[in-house]
Amino acid sequence: MRNRRIGFAHERELAVKLWRKGFAVIRAPASGSKTKRIVYPDIVAIKNGYVLAIEVKTTHGEKPIYIPAHQVQKLKEFIKRSGGEGFIAVKIIGSGEWRFLKIDNLVKTRRNNYKVDKELLTKSYRLSDLIAIVAGNKRLDDYLD
Amino acid sequence: MRNRRIGFAHERELAVKLWRKGFAVIRAPASGSKTKRIVYPDIVAIKNGYVLAIEVKTTHGEKPIYIPAHQVQKLKEFIKRSGGEGFIAVKIIGSGEWRFLKIDNLVKTRRNNYKVDKELLTKSYRLSDLIAIVAGNKRLDDYLD
């Protein structure tokens, strides 16, 4: 319960950051009030028709983050319908920095879940990259590999 | 409190309808958990990059619906950022039908609020119209004069 509330505080922080950068932003209702038939990302941010569907995670930096397959599935379903891109947003506790991973670039585990390790995190986008991509100044593929 | 909960039930009903028609749908969190710095529509529905920002109302049919200026302002701010269109969705209690009014077509009252009267409601879109518009088969202006 406490963890869930801390999770909300991070979501809210990211939502406000994106709003300040000119995005239209909407956060999903708390789990309890979700309509079971509909899947929501944690945050949807939109700018000039460019849709970002985002799940929010936190890390202290060293241990990999595991993401259940159903959360990635949820993002994929949302972007299939809306158009746009799916991202995992990671708040790095300590530095306070946010990093963004495109869901296509996640590493699949043997149990069919997904993993973000330290190396992948190093190659991920910063908020400024994301904003440049949405503004059309850069392409997503210019960043990775 | 009871009214607010009934309001949620209508929002949920519309969200599910739009989801079934292939939209990506996200509902705003309950008022209490809203971030004060960000404005949310009741529902955001997106299909292939086409964004609908929606405020949900109900009517028994005869009396006009009054919409506070700040709610229309909220939709305008959201669509300015996201692109897309702002709508008031009206559930007509009794027939159970949903009608949709583009915010540009609302009538302004002398106190600078907005009004949906019976006549305007008659000229409003049905859900099927909205879907055709988003699919690109019809233009918004083909409907109203």
Query: Quick check: A24 and B48 CB within 8 A?
Result: no
> What are the 10-residue block averages of pLDDT along chain A, 145 residues in total?
72 95 89 65 94 94 88 94 95 93 92 91 92 77 52
Residue B81 touches chain A, beta carbons under 8 Å = yes
Task: Please list every residue in chain B whose beta carbon sits closer than 8 Å to the beta carbon of residue A82.
Answer: 23-24, 46-49
Question: pLDDT for A30-44, tens place per residue?
Answer: 654 455 678 889 999
Instruction: State whether B46 and A82 contact (CB < 8 Å).
Output: yes
> Would you list the DSSP string of B72-126?
HHHHHHHHHHH-SEEEEEEEETTT--EEEEEGGGPEEPTTS-EEE-HHHHHTSEE
Q: Cα–Cα distance between B27 and B40 in angstroms, integer?
A: 9
Cα B75 from Cα A81, distance rounded (Å) = 22
Whole-complex ipTM: 0.86
Output the pLDDT for position B145: 41
Q: Which residue of chain B has the CA closest to A40?
A: B26
Q: How far apart are the C-alpha atoms of B45 and B58, rounded to whole Å?
A: 19
How does pLDDT run along chain B (145 residues), one tens digit per residue?
456 667 788 999 999 999 999 999 999 876 544 556 788 899 999 999 999 999 999 998 778 899 999 999 999 999 999 999 999 999 999 899 999 999 998 989 999 899 998 889 988 999 999 999 888 866 655 554 4
Q: How far is CA B86 from CA A88, B7, B102, in A?
A: 28, 19, 6
Domains of chain B are 2-61+74-93+124-142 (3.40.1350.10)
pLDDT in tens, B73-107: 999 999 999 999 999 999 999 899 999 999 998 98
